[in-house]
């Protein structure tokens, strides 16, 4: 397993990220993650293939219970309304699905929350698993209709937000295909 040091940090703490970085042109690894639907009161398993043929924006965060992740996820919710209708936004964290649903309901966020709490496979496949915290590194990935990565931004400073404008531009270009 590839270990990347010096690519993620918070304040003075250097973190180790497990898994290789994904880059534009690579195939997106498949995944099956949990999502608790608060309106149905039911647990569902969501796979990448469920949204085949659409552009997917993965907002990958440490935890919804942290200030930066909270702000970032709220911002993607607002941006989502201006994206083409065939774009799917997922927020992915290792938070429990019930905690994600509780946050989603209290914050009036309607895009899908995905939990990778069961195991570390998503984290290592997408190159975002922080070894010291067993949480995911902040990152934003865009996957096109053909399951190709068209944008990958791994945010080194866990107290910083991603480049929203750059990502939105890539999403809109990918949706025109």
List active site positions. Answer: 69
Q: Which two tokens stand for residue 157?
A: 């400073």
Whether the CA torsion 15, 29, 72, 39 is positive or negative: it is negative
| Cα–Cα dist 17/136, whole Å | 9
Contact residues for 76 (Cβ-Cβ < 8 A; gap 6+): 57, 59, 89, 91, 111, 164
The answer to whether the beta carbons of residues 14 and 3 sit under 8 Å apart is no
Nearest to 161 by CA among 77, 71, 93, 56: 71
Instruction: Report strand pairing: 129-130 vs 32-37.
Output: unpaired
| Cα–Cα dist 32/116, whole Å | 8
| Cα–Cα dist 89/76, whole Å | 8
């Amino acid at each position: 397993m590839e270990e990347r040091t010096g690519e993620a940090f918070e304040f003075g703490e250097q973190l180790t990220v497990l898994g290789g970085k994904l880059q534009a042109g690579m195939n997106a690894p498949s995944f099956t993650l949990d999502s608790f639907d608060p309106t149905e009161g039911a647990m569902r398993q969501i796979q990448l293939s469920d949204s085949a043929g659409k552009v997917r924006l993965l907002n990958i965060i440490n935890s919804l219970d942290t200030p930066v992740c909270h702000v970032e996820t709220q911002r993607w919710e607002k941006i989502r309304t201006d994206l083409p209708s065939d774009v799917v936004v997922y927020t992915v964290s290792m938070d429990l699905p019930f905690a994600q649903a509780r946050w989603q309901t209290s914050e009036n966020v309607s895009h899908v929350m995905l939990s990778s709490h069961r195991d570390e496979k998503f984290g290592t496949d997408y190159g975002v698993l922080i070894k010291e915290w067993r949480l995911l590194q902040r990152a934003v990935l865009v996957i096109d209709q053909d399951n190709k990565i068209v944008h990958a931004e791994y945010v080194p400073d866990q107290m910083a937000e991603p480049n929203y404008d750059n990502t939105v531009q890539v999403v809109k270009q990918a949706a025109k295909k």
